[in-house]
């Protein structure tokens, strides 16, 4: 039976912790044999979610929690990202065709880089779940 591997990080909504998160995720995923292209996609999406939590959710760096769990079982990499900022459903914003200027491009990446993306609220937590699939295994 295949083993699912994971890393779970519970950090504060501050840029110093973002550096810690991305450094640790990059190292763990590379050590697990995940391709650099997939590591980059996971890194970019987690960084976008984290930055959105600080800038748009909490509205500043603070001690409020962000919980990130990344697990992998070939050919999937799953990300569960949660914060306690005011509720925000990234599925309910402008469509990708309506994005103009700088705003919204991070949400576009969050929606388009993973093979699957969902959001729900759970006991006051905003929970975003994403699944990445290795390109050679990607489902249409």
Cα torsion through 51, 56, 60, 64, rounded to 10: -80
Kindly report, residue by residue over 59-117, the tens digit of the pLDDT.
999 999 999 999 999 889 999 999 999 998 888 765 555 545 545 678 888 889 999 99
Indicate if the pLDDT at residue 121 is higher than 70: yes
- Return the closest-CA partner of residue 4 out of 80, 72, 83: 72
Indicate if the pLDDT at residue 120 is higher than 80: yes
The percent of residues above 90 in pLDDT, for the chain, comes to 69
More confident residue, 17 or 134: 17
CATH fold of the domain at 5-137: Heat Shock Protein 90 (3.30.565)
Tokens for 96, please give them. Answer: 């990708």
C-alpha span between 85 and 20 (Å, rounded): 20
C-alpha span between 35 and 98 (Å, rounded): 32
pTM of the entire predicted model: 0.87
Q: Beta strands 125-133 and 76-83: pairing type?
A: antiparallel
Q: How many CB atoms lie within 10 A of CB 40?
A: 13
pLDDT value at residue 107: 83
Kindly report, residue by residue over 30-64, the tens digit of the pLDDT.
998 899 999 999 999 999 999 999 999 999 999 99
- Return the closest-CA partner of residue 110 out of 41, 23, 30, 45: 45
Indicate if the pLDDT at residue 137 is higher than 70: no
C-alpha span between 132 and 118 (Å, rounded): 12
pLDDT value at residue 3: 59
CA-based angle 43:44:45, to the nearest 5? 95
Indicate if the pLDDT at residue 124 is higher than 50: yes
- Give rounded-to-5 percent helix, strand, coil for the chain: 40, 30, 30
pLDDT value at residue 103: 56
């Amino acid at each position: 039976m295949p083993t699912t591997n994971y890393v779970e990080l519970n950090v504060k909504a501050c840029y110093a912790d973002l550096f810690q998160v991305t450094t640790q995720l990059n190292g763990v995923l590379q050590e697990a044999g995940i391709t650099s292209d997939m590591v980059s996609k996971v890194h970019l999406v987690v960084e976008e979610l984290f930055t959105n939590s600080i800038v748009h959710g909490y509205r500043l760096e603070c001690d409020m929690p962000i919980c990130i769990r990344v697990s992998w079982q070939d050919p999937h990499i799953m990300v569960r990202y949660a914060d306690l900022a005011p509720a925000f459903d990234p599925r309910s914003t402008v469509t990708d065709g309506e994005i103009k200027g700088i705003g919204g491009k991070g949400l576009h990446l969050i929606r388009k880089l993973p093979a699957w993306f969902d959001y729900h609220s759970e006991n006051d937590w905003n929970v975003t779940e994403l699944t990445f699939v290795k390109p050679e295994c990607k489902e249409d």
